[in-house]
């Protein structure tokens, strides 16, 4: 007999004979009521067991976490909160779960505890909802770009270059760890390695993406990227997913338009498709807010926050304007932001970004035209000779969600810049070819997928929106 998803049973137009549901027991009350979840929806279906005619042995095995199959009748439920329930005629235990040992007890667990059980936390309501929302968001990403005629490009994960020039890379090697071949100077000799050179896990698919944009016009990547930065924050992962569109003939303004339209589309799509999960996450958040002092509570609920982003344009502000705002603001009543007063050209810290977004503009902000010296080598130099056509999108509660730019399309200027930064031209000969042959204005950006999932789910730690988070000291699973 084919089983039916709980989601479909709960949506059924009529009561039904002989339905089969399979899933995992969340709770079992009064030797009679099973709350069954199969992952297809946040909602459990109540299965009512005929305990008088069910062997004691079987009843004992209906424990939290057990996998079961029930066959019965879908009837209208008298209980509050659910339209239907299953009157069970036949129950089969598919996989036992030792109630004493099963870590996901039917009570509220701390997020820290759940992280240590990343393989089981997805069996909780919150993580089930988060992972379904994540899945729908990624579908929305592909949908958006395909509707617009972008080509999806799979850029390599193992690379021979450093796309961001920041040096925060994981090495890839097949050399013996204990006793690698060495040069006469005693250095590890990567010439004898698998690829005949030093290689790394990619930090970004941008450079390869640019070469494809200069042939296919509009492309995007969506894949895992890796950063060996030792930042133990709630916004950084060592392995995260990035979406990187790149478009030939787009300038920085077009790039901002694309980013804004894209973000609004995927949020709208997910709001439409994940109503139950988002409502659940909103309620969860409201409960959490109640335990905070009034002043720290969020002014908007999760759904209000998401709708706000859809209904309001992102505020576009140049770096120089932002610095002026920060210079004249007093975030802590008396104290001003210190460092900024000292020099134009400093990088913004997350407290500055958050001030701009959460206190000053109170909406998503696109900061552009940053000082050249704090941004990557490939960004288009402005006519002032000191700023580049960079843009960062800052989101409330998140900070930077997007980093992008118009690219330096002029061969000489790019080479000059690389020389100044000590970036090896020989290594990037293939990248420079895009500027040698048919170069043109082009732009793109990278959106950190987990930061988007954070925003949409209202979660606050990036470790809670990716199935198996990798952070410094953590690669258990």
Residue whose Cβ sits closest to Mg ion = 403
Residues in binding contact with Mg ion, number by CB under 5 A: 1
Compute the Cα dihedral for 159, 165, 170, 176 and give only its sign: positive
- Near ligand 4AD by CB under 6 A, which window of 111-119, 151-159, 238-246, 469-477? 238-246
Token pair of 305, please? 């926050």
Among 121, 123, 134, 236, binds ligand 4AD (CB under 6 A): 236
| Partner whose binding site includes residue 164, from Mg ion, ligand 4AD, none (CB under 5 to 8 Å by kind) | ligand 4AD
Within 10 angstroms of residue 196's Cβ, the number of other Cβ atoms is 10
Q: Does 370 bind ligand 4AD (CB under 6 A)?
A: no
Nearer to ligand 4AD, 86 or 263 (CB): 263
Instruction: Give the strand pairing for 45-48 and 84-95.
Output: parallel
CB of 417 to ligand 4AD, least distance (A): 16
User: Is residue 403 within the footprint of ligand 4AD (CB under 6 A)?
Assistant: yes
> For Mg ion, which is the closer residue by CB, 96 or 229?
229
Q: Residue 17 corresponds to which tokens in the numbers above?
A: 């004979």
Taking the complex as a whole, the smallest distance from the CB of residue 193 to ligand 4AD amounts, in Å, to 25
Select from 358, 400, 427, 433 the one that contacts ligand 4AD (CB under 6 A).
Answer: 400
Q: How far is the CB of 210 from ligand 4AD (least distance, A)?
A: 9
Report the residue from 128, 446, 458, 469 that binds ligand 4AD according to the rule CB under 6 A: 446
242 binds ligand 4AD (CB under 6 A): yes
| CB nearer ligand 4AD, residue 65 or residue 209 | 209
Out of Mg ion, ligand 4AD, none, which partner does residue 126 contact, by CB within 5 to 8 A per kind? none
**Which stretch in 116-124, 182-190, 412-420, 444-452 sits in contact with ligand 4AD by CB under 6 A?**
444-452
Residue 163, binding choice from Mg ion, ligand 4AD, none, Cβ under 5 to 8 Å by partner class: ligand 4AD
Q: Does 444 interact with ligand 4AD (rule: CB under 6 A)?
A: yes
Q: Which of residues 384-403 bind Mg ion (CB under 5 A)?
A: 403
Residues 297-326 close enough to bind ligand 4AD by CB under 6 A: none
Instruction: Residue 340: name the closest of 317, 368, 321, 365 by CA.
Output: 321
- Looking at the Cβ atoms of 244 and 369, the one nearer to ligand 4AD is 244
Q: Which does 241 bind (CB under 5 to 8 A by kind): ligand 4AD, Mg ion, none?
A: none
Of the candidate residues 65, 364, 404, 469, the single one contacting ligand 4AD (CB under 6 A): 404
Stretch that binds ligand 4AD, among 191-199, 260-268, 345-353, 403-411 (CB under 6 A): 403-411
Question: If contact means CB under 5 to 8 A according to the sort of partner, which of Mg ion, ligand 4AD, none does residue 206 touch?
Answer: ligand 4AD
Rule CB under 5 A: which residues touch Mg ion? Answer: 403
Q: What residue ranges bind ligand 4AD (CB under 6 A)?
A: 163-164, 204, 206, 227, 229, 236-237, 240, 242, 244, 400-405, 444-446, 448, 450-451
């Amino acid at each position: 007999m084919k089983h039916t998803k709980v989601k479909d049973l709960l949506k059924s137009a009529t009561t039904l004979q002989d339905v089969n549901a399979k899933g995992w027991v969340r709770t079992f009350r009064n030797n009679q009521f099973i709350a069954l979840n199969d992952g297809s929806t946040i909602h459990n279906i109540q299965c009512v067991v005929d305990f008088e005619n069910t062997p004691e042995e079987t009843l004992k095995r209906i424990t939290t976490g057990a996998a079961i199959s029930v066959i019965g009748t879908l009837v209208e439920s008298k209980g509050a909160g659910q339209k239907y329930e299953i009157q069970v005629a036949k129950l089969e235990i598919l996989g036992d779960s030792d109630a004493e040992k099963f870590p996901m007890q039917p009570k509220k667990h701390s997020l820290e505890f759940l992280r240590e059980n990343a393989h089981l936390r997805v069996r909780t309501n919150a993580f089930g909802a988060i992972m379904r929302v994540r899945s729908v968001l990624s579908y929305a990403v592909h949908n958006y770009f395909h509707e617009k005629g972008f080509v999806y490009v799979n850029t390599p994960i193992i690379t021979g270059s450093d796309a961001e020039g920041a040096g925060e890379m994981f090495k890839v090697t097949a050399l013996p760890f204990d006793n690698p071949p060495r040069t006469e100077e005693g250095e590890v000799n990567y010439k004898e390695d698998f690829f005949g050179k030093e290689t790394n896990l990619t930090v970004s698919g941008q450079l390869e993406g640019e070469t494809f944009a200069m042939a296919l016009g509009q492309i995007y990547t969506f894949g895992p990227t890796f950063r060996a930065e030792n930042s133990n924050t709630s916004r950084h992962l060592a392995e995260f997913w990035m979406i990187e569109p790149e478009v030939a003939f787009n300038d920085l303004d077009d790039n901002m338009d694309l980013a804004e339209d894209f973000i609004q589309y995927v949020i709208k799509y997910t709001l439409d498709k994940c109503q139950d999960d988002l409502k659940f996450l909103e309620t969860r958040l409201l409960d959490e807010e109640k335990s905070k002092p009034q002043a720290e509570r969020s002014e908007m609920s999760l759904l209000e926050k998401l709708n706000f982003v859809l209904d309001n344009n992102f505020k576009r502000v140049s770096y120089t304007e932002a610095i002026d705002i920060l210079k004249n603001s007093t975030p802590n009543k008396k104290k001003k932001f210190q460092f900024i007063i000292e020099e134009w050209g400093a990088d913004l810290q997350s407290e500055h970004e958050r001030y701009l977004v959460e206190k000053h503009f109170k909406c998503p902000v696109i900061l552009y035209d940053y000082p050249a010296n704090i941004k990557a080598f490939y960004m288009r130099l402005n006519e002032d000779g000191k700023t580049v056509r960079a843009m960062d999108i800052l989101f409330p509660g998140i900070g930077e969600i997007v980093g992008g730019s118009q690219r330096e399309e002029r061969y000489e200027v790019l080479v000059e810049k690389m020389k100044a930064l000590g970036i090896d031209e020989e290594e990037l000969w293939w990248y420079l070819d895009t500027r040698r042959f048919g170069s043109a204005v082009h732009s793109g950006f990278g959106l950190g997928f987990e930061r988007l999932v954070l925003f949409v789910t209202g979660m606050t730690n990036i470790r809670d929106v990716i199935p198996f988070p990798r952070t410094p000291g953590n690669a258990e699973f």
